[in-house]
Amino acid sequence: MTRTALQDGSGATTRPVLQMRGIGKRYGHVVALDGVDLDVNAGEVVALVGDNGAGKSTLVKAIAGTHRIDEGTVLVDGQPAELGSPAAATRLGIETVYQDLALCDNLDVVANLYLGREVRRSRTPFLNREEMERDAAAVIADLAAHLPRLDAPVAALSGGQRQAVAVSRAALWGSRIVLLDEPTAALGVAQTAMVYRLVRSLRERGLGVVVISHNMADVFAVADRICVLRLGRNAGTFLTSETTPDQVVAAITGSAEVGPRKDS
Ligand SMILES: Nc1ncnc2c1ncn2[C@@H]1O[C@H](COP(=O)(O)OP(=O)(O)OP(=O)(O)O)[C@@H](O)[C@H]1O
Ligand SMILES: [Mg+2]
């Protein structure tokens, strides 16, 4: 519960960027989250898995500040945090790639990276396009997100390239945590591989990454740790390297109590 680095089982140093405890969220009479815990370390990819309606998107929206939680505590970088609005989450360095990507089709790649956060020339209403282009090109090169042109309208890009724009925007603005809700759901094999690469680049930048996915191949390809939700509750946390897909599926469906289990 402190800012100090901890030792994990492998002896590597870990620094928690997000610690959620006892999170509860109701929609009217529907209990979407009930006493849920989630930990994410800097430079770690955590997959959030579970059946339809398990509460994954609700948990991600709680972190992103779009849905307020009813119960529980949240620490960001070891400090108590109120994630009461998207602006509050943004200020804490939390960025979200939603399933619909929230891109503006008629604008180009650079404009989409800066949507609502444009850089202006000092004391003028005019945009500093050169500075935005320079920083956009740097983040895209750093992520190795292969985009044909920065001045192409995003409507002209493929599904994978659009996903790359959304991930690049998160990398440009997110200083601590990036959340991705089913980033490969609509993608083919090659484009899925590119998204995996982008997610690994985020990890290498030292960000904590949370990826929602229904696809076990995705999960085992990118995640360091897997957090299973079932009916709004924790149903196991697994180190990917010590777990099989069957064990995770068993936890998702509740068909058996399985190990190894590693909480936190
Ligand atoms: N805005 C809402 N209003 C009312 N109920 C909601 C709302 N959003 C989610 N729920 C309910 O909360 C529960 C959790 O939903 P959530 O969307 O978090 O699940 P999920 O794990 O993301 O599922 P999926 O895999 O289908 O995306 C479900 O029972 C769902 O019907
Ligand atoms: Mg969902």
Q: Ligand 2 centre from 210 Cα, in Å?
A: 13
For residue 34, is it within any domain? yes
Helix or strand or coil: residue 26? strand
Lowest mean pLDDT across 22-36, 189-203, 221-235: 189-203
- With a pLDDT cut of 90, the percent of the chain lying above it is 51
Which contiguous run of DSSP H or E holds residue 228? strand 225-230
Q: Ligand 1 centre from 53 Cα, in Å?
A: 5
- Using 50, 70 and 90 to split pLDDT, how confident is the model at 261? low
Residue having the nearest C-alpha atom to atom 6 of ligand 1: 27
For residue 264, is it within any domain? no
Q: Which numbered ligand comes closest to the C-alpha of 29?
A: 1
Number of folded domains that form the chain: 1
Q: Which numbered ligand comes closest to the C-alpha of 181?
A: 2
Lowest mean pLDDT across 53-67, 115-129, 213-227: 115-129
**Domain span at 164:** 6-253
For residue 205, is it within any domain? yes
Average pLDDT over residues 119-133: 79
Q: What is the CATH number of the domain that holds 30?
A: 3.40.50.300
DSSP conformation letters of 54-66: SSHHHHHHHHHTS
Ligand 1 pocket by C-beta < 6 Å: which residues? Answer: 27, 30, 32, 50, 52-58
Mean pLDDT, the chain, rounded, equals 87
The pLDDT, as a whole number, for residue 7 is 53
Residue having the nearest C-alpha atom to atom 1 of ligand 1: 27
- First and final CA of the chain: distance in angstroms? 11
pTM across the whole model: 0.87
- Using 50, 70 and 90 to split pLDDT, how confident is the model at 13? low
The pLDDT, as a whole number, for residue 2 is 42
